[in-house]
Every structure is written in C-alpha cells, then in structure tokens.
Chains A and B, each alone.
Chain A
Amino acid sequence: MQIKRHDWPRALATQSTKQLTAVLNEMTTRWTITPVQLPQTGLGMLQLRDSAFNDPYFLGEIPLASAWVSIRTEDQQEYQGAAQLMDDDQDKIEALAVCDAILAYQLPGWQALYQLVEIGMAALTQEQQLRKAMLAKTRVDFALLNATEQDDD
C-alpha cells in the first residue's frame, strides 16, 4: 500500500458515511465488532507554539470524534482498529475505526476500501494543487520593481 496509515482517516473522510457503511456492511456481515473504547464526540483544544518566543498557547477548540474497535472474524481471530477525526459524526468515526483495522491487517475485502482511500487522496491532492496554483499565480515578481530602480521603503 502506497498510502500510509496516517493518511487513511482524512482520505476516507472525503467519502460520505453512507458510502463507507455500504462498503463495510458487505464485508463485515460475519464478523463481530465490539468497541474497545466507547466512541466519543466532543472537542479538542488546539495547542500551538508562537513563533516569536516559542511559547505554547491554546488557539481554540476543534470538534473531535474518536473510536477504537475490535473485530472478531469468522476464524475467531481478533484485530483492532482506531480512528480520530475533526468531526462530530459518531457513525462515521466508528466506520473509520473498522476501516483502520481492515486496512492495517489487510482483512478480506481490504482492496475495496483501499480504492476509497485512493479516491479520497486524489481529491485531497487536487484541492492541494488548486491552492498551490493560486499561490503560484499571485507570486510577486520584484524584478520589475528592481528594474525601474524604485523602492517601496
């Protein structure tokens, strides 16, 4: 797998909860899925380091959902998966935790999920390319200013 585990949640999060659960429902019918920790939605406090003096401070809060599940497959093997996301959709985070286990251990059907990861990453990359293009288009060319020997200060 080219796309690493640390990118799976944000890539899969581009898909709707409905899409994710539809794929998972087909794969997990004969498995038992139980929470290792109860899924939670709430807030996280975002901590930054200021660049003037390196002082840590809190910028503000972010929504946060987290889930940690255990999957028991039909051959009685147990696998665990977990996910955290800036979201407050409990169904989605539970689905992402199941996806995490399936992808991490390449459980039967993982390829279908990995396709969703690839689709999600492509969408994220496209958005990133758009932002970069906007940056490139608005880059200031000071060569013209230097050529006319003007100065802005």
Chain B
Amino acid sequence: MGYVAIKGGGRAIDGAADALELLRTRQGESARPLDTDTIEKQLYFLHSRILSEGGLYHPQLASLAIKQSLGDTLEASFALRAYRSTKPRLLETPVHDTSNMRLIRRISASFKDIPGGQMLGPTTDYALRLLRMDLLNESPEQFQAIAKTLLAGLPQQSGADSFPKVLDSLRAEGLLPQVNQAAREQPFDITREPLIFPVPRSAALATMARGETGSLLAIAYSNMRGYGDVHPTVAELRVGYLPVMLPHPISGELTEVGEVLMTECEVVAMYQGDDNKSVPTFTLGYGACFGHNEVKAISMAILDRALQKGMQDGAENPSEDPEFVLLHVDGIDSMGFASHYKMPHYVTFQSDMDRLRTTQQKQEAGHE
C-alpha cells in the first residue's frame, strides 16, 4: 500500500482562514478592533499567562498573539514561541537577584509579621466570585472615571517597594539548608538543548517557568491531594517588576535596559535530616515565571520540591518523576501532539481497518 498524497484542500483551507476572520470581526456596527494596550490592561491575567507560557517577555507581541488567536492560550503561546524562534540570540544576561524586584504584591502564609510587612496589592483572592452585572453596561465614561477616582484616593506618602526575603530570616535562624556560595555551573538552556535525563535542576526550573499553567497545576494538585507528601507552606509569594541590568557596552557599568513583571514563590516543606548526620532543616521549593501568575508559581514551587525528593530518594509518585513532569507540562508540545490527531491519518486508519477485517474473517473461518 503506497502513501496517499492529499490534494484538493487548498481552497477549503483558505476558506477556513476567512471563516475564522469573519468570526473575529462579525459584530455589527458596534464592532471595534481590540488594541494591544486594551488586551494588556483589561485581560491582564490572560496576558500574563501568554508572556509566561510563550517564554518571551514581549508585552506588545503577547497582546497581538492573544488577538490573532482569538484568546486561545495555547495558540497564542505557540505564536509567541514561533516568533522567538525567528530572532537571533544576542546575549545571556548576568545573574539577577530577585530581591531587587519592585514589588506590587507580597504575602506570606508562614508569619504575620514578615520583615517589611505584607501587602496584598492587586488580587482576586478576596473577591466574592459573584458576577458583577454592572459591568455588562459599563460606559466608556464610567470606565475612565474609575481609574481617576482610585488614583485620587491613593496615599501620598509611600514607603519602600523592595524587601528582604522571608527565607533569609528563616535561614539566619538555622531552619533552612545552607546554600552553597561557590560558583555554580552554567544553567541548562532548554531552548538550545534537548531534555535528556537526568537533567540538572536549572533545566527543571526553566521548563516549568514556561510550562502550561493547567498542566503544572494538575500534577502539583495530585501531589497535594495525596500522590506525594510535600505539604507546603508559602513562605513568600511576590509579584513585581524586576529591573533587567546589562553592562554598558562602553563603560561596563550595569545599566537598566527595562523591567519584567514576574511572580515568584518560595514554599517551605516537611523537614528532613541527613540520616542523623546533620541538623534537620525544612525543605524548600521554588517557583517563578514571567507575568502575574500566582497559581502557576505556587504549583511550580511544589513540583520543584517534589522533583528534588524524587531525584534524591527515587520517584514514588508521578509528581516526583522528572521525566514524567518535565516532558508533560509544556503546552506547545502537548497541544501539538493532541492537535495532530485532527490531521489526516487516512493511511494508518486504512491499515487498522484492514487488520480488523482480516482478524474478523479469521475468527469467522474458525467458527465454521
């Protein structure tokens, strides 16, 4: 049986693109195209998700990707990832310390009185989850008045926006494992090298940082529910803008070239000792990603801890198995595999049918 060439779909494919464009634009006389600023501001969390899952901090193009994909998160991330693959790599930045983040939100579930205090910032945590029917008929005038009113009500006096980390105080008390201050190996670059296991922790962090939120949450949730034993406490959850610093090409002085909105989470988990040879300490998990994505950062931190356990003691649960977790959390990979089943499989299915018919015929012959 030869390969069956597929022909004749060109016009239908063009028509499908037109049909999608019609779907996007058919709204009558009230139709207004979405502009990228509107997407960035009014679809803030969706936008953050695409920044993070696309793995490229480009706010304007993330908005464009959302617009052209009609809000499909996987397609939008795919478009951003495809764009990045067309651009040359100019450099790797120096190592950045996130204690320099300009925070817009900072909370801890470990202590009430963390150094610097807790600031809720913009959050849906305390929303009642009741639909706000008034937004159905929000006029542009009402909409614009809200920001003016809120800005007028902000305090004139304000304090710092960078704070020490909660982990630093726990570490100072000897409750956390000490970190190795020695020079570390070059981090694993998942955009240049395939994941061949075992992989270093830097590969796991980078993979999860651009992983698909739902996938990370699902596997972390399996651990939380009982297929694992991380039992985390959020030491600190931070959202803010990290200044990106590069050496000036001439003077060499570190110069701010921009900033990235990011979310970072550190969890403290069950303590462990080293076979009674060392003082027992809490264990730690770490999560971070572009944009404001709290569930993703928490899930990543839980999985980081679960993977450390799996690498040290052997995986007892799916969430502790680096190969299982890291090869299944990328949205572009998994969406691509799922979507490819929509593509013609005429030859393989023909083969399946042939085999089934032959088996049926043999079975019938056996009964005779």
B57 touching A135 by the CB < 8 A rule?
no
With most chain A CB atoms within 10 A of its CB, the pick from B58, B158, B165, B184 is: B158
- Of residues 1 through 26 on chain A, the ones whose CB sits less than 8 Å from some CB of chain B are 5-7, 9-10, 13
Q: Which of B90, B113, B285 contacts A44 (CB 8 A)?
A: B90
Query: Is B181 engaged at the interface, CB distance under 8 Å to the other chain?
Result: yes
Identify which of B16-24, B186-194, B347-355 touches chain A.
B186-194
A51 touching B286 by the CB < 8 A rule?
yes
Query: Is B195 engaged at the interface, CB distance under 8 Å to the other chain?
Result: no
Query: Is B295 engaged at the interface, CB distance under 8 Å to the other chain?
Result: no
* B349 shortest CB reach to chain A, Å: 39
Q: Which of A55, A62, A128 contacts B102 (CB 8 A)?
A: A128
Query: Is B96 engaged at the interface, CB distance under 8 Å to the other chain?
Result: yes
Task: Kindly state the interface size class of chain B when it binds its partner.
Answer: 35 or more
When A9-B255, A52-B167 are in contact, do A80 and B159 touch as well, CB less than 8 Å?
A: no
CB-nearest residue of chain B to A62: B57
Q: Which of B57, B95, B187 contacts A61 (CB 8 A)?
A: B57
Q: Which of B97, B105, B244, B250 contacts A46 (CB 8 A)?
A: B244
Query: Is B4 engaged at the interface, CB distance under 8 Å to the other chain?
Result: no
State the CA gap A10–B105 with chains docked (Å): 24
Residues of B within 8 A of A (CB): 52, 55-58, 84, 87-99, 102-106, 112-113, 117-122, 151, 154-161, 165, 167, 177, 179-181, 184, 186-191, 201-202, 205-206, 209-210, 241-242, 244, 246, 248-251, 253-260, 262, 264, 266, 284-286, 288-290, 304
15 pairs, A vs B, C-beta closer than 8 Å: A10-B258, A44-B244, A45-B189, A47-B94, A48-B95, A51-B165, A51-B266, A53-B180, A54-B180, A58-B189, A60-B55, A128-B102, A136-B157, A137-B154, A137-B155
Sample of 6 more A-B contacts, CB < 8 Å, known A52-B167, A133-B154: A5-B251, A43-B88, A48-B288, A64-B91, A81-B250, A138-B105
